[in-house]
Structure 1
Amino acid sequence: MMDDMMRQMGAPPRKELYPSLMEVEAFTPDKRQQFERLARERMKSGTALMSSGLEKLSAPSSEQDLPAMREATALMRQGVVQFDTGISSLQAISEGKPPRAVALDWFKQNMSLLPSADMQRPHGIFGLSGFHYFTMFLLLAFAATMIWINLKKMQRAQALAARLTPQPGAVLPERTLTPAAQSIPPSLLPEDAPSKSNAWTGLLRVVQIFEESPNVVTLRLTDPSGGSLPFRHLPGQFVTFTVKPNDQMVKRSYTIASSPTRRDYVEVTVKREEHGTVSGFLHSVRVGDTLQTTGPSGNFTFVGDGANSIVLISGGVGITPMMSVVRYLTDRSWPSDIFFIFGCRGEKDVIYREELEYLQRRHPNLHLAITAIDVASADWPYARGNITKELLSQAVPHIEIRRVHLCGPKPMMDALKPVLIELGVPLEQIKTEIFIGKERPATPPTLAEGVTGSEQSQPTTTPVEGAETAGVAVATFARSKRTALFPPSKTLLEVSEDVGVNIDYSCRVGTCGVCKVKLLSGSVTMEVQDSLDAADKENNIILACQAKTRGDVSVDA
């Protein structure tokens, strides 16, 4: 339509100006004149189109003819484009641009490929903006961090491989354990070292009391000033309470049942014994009361080192150190097998039952076995009777290769220790702590049999009258210049309390070492000597809470 209109106006046919330029490598004088003529013709045809469109738009008949108005504006627009491209071509040719560059500029302009005039020019090195530099910096920092992390992982892997590689000549056990138990884990001690034995004495406040059974309660204690406890302990250690129930200062030790990972409190579980002075007193405390406490102390501990599994056997309230251990190991996600064996009198005496069953469901490596002697319920899901060889064999596969901790009343300990040895457990793999089930009532100091009042007021080291005829040994406390009958049923500590000789003590079970005294003459037997080292034994140091008579003795107390 456009060519017909131009022919009607007498204009020559439109030349394909810019496609023709693509075929020309360089302008010769003839070519330059030819393309200048074509550019002027394009300007002329553009002027004609604009004039035609303006005439049609100005015609009176077109005021109401919208299609005619649209056609007129299209002619004017086409004329402007042709006129503009003609001018641009003349300018480019006069500036000496190559023909193909002139054609490409035209194509870019008509295809909207040329950058706009207001576009920001690149700046900086290599024409990059500040945003580009910032992005590149972040990427480089990320890459450097990832390289550093991978190097650290490689170093840790090499160190672990070195630890796990058997040393030349090392003999590996033939028995195959579960995958989690084949390697001994690294130390699982608390973040800071535990406090020294009995390094702290002060007040702790009772903040909660839990009833575990009709005659067993758990006391939760915190620092009255708030915050973390003033000492750090290991699982299995104990604290000592100093109380004054009957105007007489008495000390008793109780194992910490809570985990050392719980830094804001400790829990002790107390069974009320018949005629028990301290246990009865502790059952009468209320929330808000304070207790004078010394601790921590004790060597009956386990933190996961030195064993590829652990067997925890307990009876009665002897469960408390085992509970601290199992809470600690599960809190720290210890991966190896934990066998928890507990025996008690009746179903209602299973302390911590709900928590133990919950922990077993949550931790597949915790294996729980409970037995009770007096069970009337038909729904009882556990074993019945005492802890026996058969129960241990069934509950703990390959018990002979495992570490065993044993705590409970003395009759239970005496019965189970030979059973463990019979099952093949080496004696050095059995660690024990005796639980004193019957608390000795606290009584004021009394005169020993055969000692007269005058003798008591004027102490002497003379043997007690009537001792030989009665066939009872005599204990002499050299520093205090007092003597007392020493019957086989009592310990040296109990005899000292009878005559008012002050021998300091804490645990009364032979583990803390507070009651050490020097044996000057005679000999004694001691069932537990855990807190005595080789130097103590060489210097005739004995534990007053464990020492029982083998004849007359004299001690430095």
Structure 2
Amino acid sequence: MVADEAFDVVVIGSGMGGLAAARTIAQFGGERVLVLEQHYTLGGMTHEFSRAGRYRFGTGVHYLSADAGPFLDFMTDGRVQLQPLPDDFDMLHFPGFDFAVPSHRERFQSRLAEQFPDEARAIDRYFGAVRRAVAGLVARNVVASLPAPLRQLGLPIVERLSPATYRPLREQIDRSFRDPRLRAILTARWGLYGTPPASSAFGYHAAVPTTFFMNGTAHPVGGPKAINEITLEILGRQGVELRARQRVRRIAVERGRVRGVDVEDGVTGDRYHVRTSTVVSAGGVRNTYALLGPELRPRWARELAELPRESSAIMLFLGLDRSPAVFGPRGENHWFMPDLDDRDGVRRSLGNGVLYVSFASLNNPAARFHTVEALELVDPAAFDEWRATTGDERPDAYHRLKEELTERLLTRLEQRWPGLRDTVAFAELATPLSFETYQRSVRGSFYGLAATPERLRSPLAGPRTPVKGLVVAGQDAWGPGVVGALAGGLMAATAVLRPRQAGTMWRTIQARRPAAAPGTVWRGYLRVAQIEAVTPSIRSIRLEPMDGGPLPFTFLAGQYIKIDLPVAVEPIERSYSISSAPGAGRHVDIAVKREPNGLGSGFLHDDLEVGLALRVTGPQGEFTWNPGIDAAGGTLLLIAGGVGITPLISVLTAAADANHRGHVVLLAGYRTEDEIPFRDELEQLRSRLPGLEVVEFLTRPGEGWTGGRGRIGLEALRPYAADATRVHLCGPAPMMQDVIGLLTKLGVPRTAVRTEAFVSGGSRQTRREKAHAVALAAAEAGVDQFTIDVKDEDTAFPCAPGQTVLDAANEARFPFPQSCGEGACGTCRVRVLSGRYETDTRGLFSTEEITAGWLLACQTLPTEDLLIAS
């Protein structure tokens, strides 16, 4: 047993319900919050998994309301981006006929009336009943979140005022309509909350498929993991501690009040106790009460046993070697119903029940490889005989059944889309035992408590519990689905927070989020709108907002963006200069040179297609020129080597847009004439900038070349050095190193020279490898810390082996000039006076400066004590 810890609040489970409770309690209550997750991945049903080195699959988010509402907007700070599904977003397939469900309630209602004119008045009455049932469900859930005396008083009143909310779905439909086809259409899609029509409460059906998805539907750009990553990043900023692979064994209770939790570390096997007076459990009602220990558990055993058992599912994950669009689907979901009355629910033979099929890759413009997911809700009892086994220990009979079910489902898909089977490159089937293993859900019931009238009447189905300090979050606190779980987390937070804090929370959730301030670093998806060859080895790529509107960020000329490139399951990050002008407003352009064996540039040249969404972070960098601030007298000298001209094109265009009248000189070096990029742009800029002088140099000039020859040397720079008040230099590292030395000889102040050198993710990986090697060597030598002394500052700070000088300075809160942190901008210049180190200068220093000890703090790893001058 490791030493005890103490937190104000412990949250069990990292699904959206648990994360929503954790964030709001930390943000509005100022509490220290610990989140414990038994799985190795945080995020619950918003996380994804990968297979075959290229396919990514979601586990629970297939589609959302296009108006995801204030809850999801709050949890992601308004940053989640949604891609609309086709207008007819759900295709229902019955024996003998199909029906397309449109994405808005008015069109849905009109389409039903057109196809069933004899039932038009009944349809109107039905949608009126839907509105009342949803209002009743909301009222019931709000009352269920109140203290016990108010719950006991209010819940019977809600049922009397809204009986349809509690009525079984089958009964409500049968009393409303005569036509069996109309009944079938309106009871379909119960798979969105997991309880068949014969036993589900009408309130849930009215709320989920009939209301929530009637404001348009959408899929998160970047997949469910986009929601996950944004949410976890925000929680980190709120100071919430998140731990994966931590299984809570018991909730400790003394005299009716929570005193802590006993936890087992899934990595080390160690057990420890966390003292707390408040536990928020997002693991489901059944799991929560099971953690209370044998002395308390029997008190609620009867009430839990009376709640109907939940369904689970089999789910087939398919990876395809081509787009499923060739067979007809455009991104809509498909529901296959074996019959009209659907009386059997989940009791049909496995593989022959109601089948839901989604095409996530058609709705996620960031998906490079295509996937299909097919889900059939089943009775988990069909797998009970193998419940006591785990993983590879399961017998051959279980694996044979999985193979048979895979073939059965593939056959059903092939019947609808002939030829689809031949495109399947990967197939894997999950069963209720899979969901139980990875989610710890009871019998694999990933929708939580069954959506039945009995659940609505149960005092256990809600955030409040009889144990003081114990609150339930997630689906069982509000309703099924990711957004339902999120709402349950907010209701749990309401029960924990003081009234004034809860009021502030709800006002904040409802408030419109402010737009990002100018210059703020933005992260999200942009769509590839245009690809153009600039030279045989350079491509210009235009990125636009997903909705075609204005850019979600502003930038200065000379800045760059980082792009996550989907070269494999895990993307690689690369940095690229912006070549377009800040005034473009609705797009951002980059230019990419193909590098030999370059993973990123190879993808952008060979595999990138118009329409693909790429995740972008930016703008970043201090290699900037602002005509309103930096347009002083003297010469603006721009020096480029090869594709290093990219940010300088942005500077020149910004100068032209600002009607700049000063002297601007561009010296650009290339190997051959056909490698000169942006020729048309430069020709236009000459006419717009009367003070522009362009001199191009070739190291391999052809016949008839009249420009400069050789490298940009001392004589090429001399005519402009004396009057140069600002120099921007960008190009290959050796070229930059030489030019910096030449400018120094010509008397150009070092402070007047701005440099830019981009580094790839591969280079950063090299630094990590170097850091690991430095740490290992120090450990073998018995060294656990270096000391960095700062000359004339009477200051020293520690540096752990494998830590950069910049990271150590930041950790010690020693003020250090910095910007990008990756060796691109040269801002964190530092001089090492003594001591040994590993470093990479990135070509941002002259040979003389390197000899004098100048280097980049963000790229320098001490291997012994250092003396530096900042």
Would you tell me which structure has more strand in proportion to its own residues? 2
Higher radius of gyration, 1 or 2:
1
